Chains A and B, each alone.
Chain A
Amino acid sequence: MDEKAKQTKNSKKRKRAVMRTTILAILIAAIGYTIYNSATAEDVTVLKVGDKAPNFTLVDLEGENHKLSDYEGQGVFLNFWGTWCKPCAKEMPAMDRQYEVFTNQGVQVLAVNIAQSDFEVQSFADQYGLSFPVVIDKTKSVMTAYNIRPLPTTVLVNPEGNIQRIITGEMTEQDIEGFMEEIKPD
């Protein structure tokens, strides 16, 4: 074979290798991406740590409006709960004690009840003597916006209004103290 033929052969070979590698790479990437998506589809986390916390406005038992964006500059300890949920009830007194400590350091607690009656929520708040605002999400719209599944779930919002951490399940008093420390403004 002469030089020229060899050259064209080599360039054809290179072209073929590049072509095949590209096609295979694209296809394998597509499969990888599909698997990744299917693996993460379980927790349809519309919300991720670091995201902007969706704004909302809810009314507390005294009839006062609480808008999340009004608390910018403060850490917000957002606790989703129900009166019937035992672990929720268990962590309430600890949350209340820590609220007393951190309220002067710029940490706000908002306890969001999921669509229960005023009567039930009020008697619960009275029984536990809760001093932080308790709001009721009557249409479950905030719950949907935050994609809350199990109760209790706590969402920590930092002073910049971003999600610092999402905690599902019961917290000990130590946990609560640590979390409030985490979102305390400097």
Chain B
Amino acid sequence: MEKLQCQCGHINPPGTNLCESCGRSLTEKEQNSKLVDMRYEGTARRSQTYNKSIIDKIWNFFSSVKVGVGIIVLLLVAAAIGTILPQKAFVPANTEATIKEYYADTYGVVGQIYHALGFHDLYSSFWFIILVGMLAISLIIASLDRFVPLYKSLKNQRVLRHPSFMDKQRIYAEGPGAEDTLKKAEEKLSELKYKVRTDKNGLLAEKGRFSRWGPYVNHIGLIIFLFGVMLRMMPGFYIDESLWIREGETRAIPEVPGYYLENKNFELENYSGEGGEEIFGEALDRVGTVAKNYQTDIVLYKKKEDALPGAVDGQEVVKEYPIRVNQPLKFAGYAIYQMDFRLDELKAMTFSFINKETEESFGELTIDLIDPKKDYELDNGASVKLIGYYPDFSGFENGEPQTATPLPNNPGFLVKLFTPDTPEGETSFITIKNTVEPLGENEYKLAFQSVETRDVSGLTVRKDSTLPILGLGGLIFMIGVAQGMYFNHRRFWIQQKTDGTILLAGHTNKNWFGLKKDLNQVVEYASLPAYTDQQDEIEKQEKAEKEGEVLS
């Protein structure tokens, strides 16, 4: 492409629509239209200028608004598809292989494809990240390509423009003027807070130029926001871990090195409908139980300096705190939220040691299911020895009792019962449902009496160091929106020809009503010729033509 030389002698970069200096139309399209296209001040978008190397081609690709919109549409469609089947965090599987199986088993071929394409973990799938990255590139390049020429053009504005530029502005007037017309117009415009520059026989009044930077400020905000989202994927910036902790347990907090949490007590309180809660009575009758409070009373410990993980006395109390829904425990940039619970996990079982025939009792014993003891002494010389403990009994294998998990869901005990009558001891295998006597009929048994339970609290450990960055991005985004939406860039060009004729043109990026209001004051004060809104004229004309067609 060649550089364009205007009649006024100014050399414009290729792709320019309106001469940078005098404002004459340079393209045929512009010359034939009634009004000039003032977008980007008629400057050449930089990408249109050159298109030679591969780098230029890539640059031009991303500079296109159409491409940017295309990327946004693709992202929306992908995000929509991502909601059709559950994301991987919500399926009941936790290893790569089982997750894959789950999708295949539950949703068939569709599920397989869904998983293979990465829709099951959309935000982490590489192609989604690439698309978001391409959006960021598009935002940056498209903005640079438009902002730089626009900035230069507005900075180097000339006061005097060619009449052909002025008469193609939407607001235009031409008519006789007095000697002091320019002077008075300048006075009034200055009073209206316009910046006025004069040159020979003309003036340029301008107000609110910064409104033109709104979209670019807005894009800077978006890019900062995307940068914050990118940081979330970096280790250490974003933590979202769950922690199940039982009453009485002390646990190292996952992803929070050096801190421990003890669960003192978990409480679930329901609305009773009594004592000041009578007003809820009707609602409670209708819907049943309604929770009033979920609460975990915790103690937070910190590892002592120099203490090693696992050291028994290596912790010191930081604070005690009741974690409730929406009242997280906060410390050192982390927050721990109440998220879930399981009530009544078995904690201890109490049995009574009796003679099967006479039902004579030797007293009771309680076996702690979390930390069972080996030996239990009872009344009258009876004792019980725990030989094997299977917290989650799942059957026998080669005659050996097995446990499926370390949790006391279905405890089984292999015990030996001693009395003065049976000093050799009788062996018994006890589970919740029944008792097996593997070595022959026994005289004594342990009869189940009662259980103690404890609750499990489900907590979530959160840390998000990117929030300030996301907040900043959002703030800048909003500043950009306000800047572009609530402020207008208004300009007037006025020239007086040697014969006294006044030429007047006005332009604004939005809010033409406001521009006209300003202009009316100036017209009145400085006795300028009456102006017309050429856009309105064109529309009226088109409307009249249309109606004419209908009539004929």
The residues of A that contact B164 with a CB separation of less than 8 Å are none
Contact of A123 among B95, B96, B388, B405 (CB under 8 A): B388
When A24-B55, A140-B251, A141-B260 are in contact, do A30 and B310 touch as well, CB less than 8 Å? no
- Chain B min CB distance to A186 (Å): 28
- Chain B min CB distance to A71 (Å): 13
The residues of B that contact A119 with a CB separation of less than 8 Å are 371-374, 386, 389
Does A7 have its Cβ within 8 Å of any Cβ on chain B? no
1/0 per position for B345-386, CB-CB distance to A under 8 A?
000000000000000000000000011111000000000001
Does A181 have its Cβ within 8 Å of any Cβ on chain B? no
The residues of B that contact A44 with a CB separation of less than 8 Å are 235, 255
Does B1 have its Cβ within 8 Å of any Cβ on chain A? no
Does A118 have its Cβ within 8 Å of any Cβ on chain B? yes
| In contact, A84 and B129 (Cβ under 8 angstroms) | no
Does A55 have its Cβ within 8 Å of any Cβ on chain B? yes
When A20-B56, A84-B391 are in contact, do A59 and B140 touch as well, CB less than 8 Å? no
Count the A residues whose beta carbon is within 8 Å of the partner chain — how many?
A: 48
When A59-B312, A123-B389, A144-B252 are in contact, do A23 and B403 touch as well, CB less than 8 Å? no
- Chain A min CB distance to B507 (Å): 31
The residues of B that contact A57 with a CB separation of less than 8 Å are 308-311
| In contact, A54 and B309 (Cβ under 8 angstroms) | yes
Does B406 have its Cβ within 8 Å of any Cβ on chain A? yes
| In contact, A55 and B406 (Cβ under 8 angstroms) | no
The residues of A that contact B233 with a CB separation of less than 8 Å are 34, 37-38, 41
| In contact, B309 and A141 (Cβ under 8 angstroms) | yes
The residues of B that contact A100 with a CB separation of less than 8 Å are none
Count the B residues whose beta carbon is within 8 Å of the partner chain — how many?
A: 51
Q: Name the CB-closest residue of B to A146.
A: B309
Contact of A24 among B137, B253, B403, B406 (CB under 8 A): B137
Contact of A83 among B124, B371, B386, B403 (CB under 8 A): B403
- Chain A min CB distance to B181 (Å): 43
When A84-B391, A140-B251 are in contact, do A31 and B403 touch as well, CB less than 8 Å? no
When A84-B405, A139-B251, A139-B252 are in contact, do A55 and B308 touch as well, CB less than 8 Å? yes
The residues in B between 384 and 426 inclusive whose CB is less than 8 angstroms from any CB of A are 386-389, 391-392, 403-406
The residues of A that contact B136 with a CB separation of less than 8 Å are 27, 30-31
Does B230 have its Cβ within 8 Å of any Cβ on chain A? yes
Does B254 have its Cβ within 8 Å of any Cβ on chain A? yes
- Chain B min CB distance to A37 (Å): 5
| Docked CA distance A21–B59 (Å) | 9
Does B58 have its Cβ within 8 Å of any Cβ on chain A? yes
Does B130 have its Cβ within 8 Å of any Cβ on chain A? yes
| In contact, B372 and A117 (Cβ under 8 angstroms) | yes
- Chain A min CB distance to B77 (Å): 20
Contact of B130 among A35, A54, A82 (CB under 8 A): A35
Does A52 have its Cβ within 8 Å of any Cβ on chain B? no
| In contact, A145 and B309 (Cβ under 8 angstroms) | yes
Does A98 have its Cβ within 8 Å of any Cβ on chain B? no
Contact of A35 among B126, B140, B252, B255 (CB under 8 A): B126
Does A120 have its Cβ within 8 Å of any Cβ on chain B? yes
The residues of B that contact A114 with a CB separation of less than 8 Å are 406
Q: Name the CB-closest residue of A to B56.
A: A20
Interface residues in chain B, defined as those with a beta carbon under 8 Å from any beta carbon in chain A: 50, 53, 55-56, 58-59, 95-96, 124, 126, 129-130, 133-134, 136-137, 140-141, 144, 230, 233-235, 250-255, 257, 260, 308-312, 370-374, 386-389, 391-392, 403-406
Between A and B, 8 residue pairs with Cβ closer than 8 Å are: A41-B124, A44-B255, A56-B309, A56-B310, A58-B310, A138-B250, A139-B251, A141-B310
Interface residues in chain A, defined as those with a beta carbon under 8 Å from any beta carbon in chain B: 13, 16-17, 20-21, 23-24, 27-28, 30-31, 34-35, 37-39, 41-42, 44, 54-59, 67, 82-84, 114-120, 123, 135, 137-145, 150
Closest 3 CB pairs of A and B: A31-B133, A141-B252, A141-B309
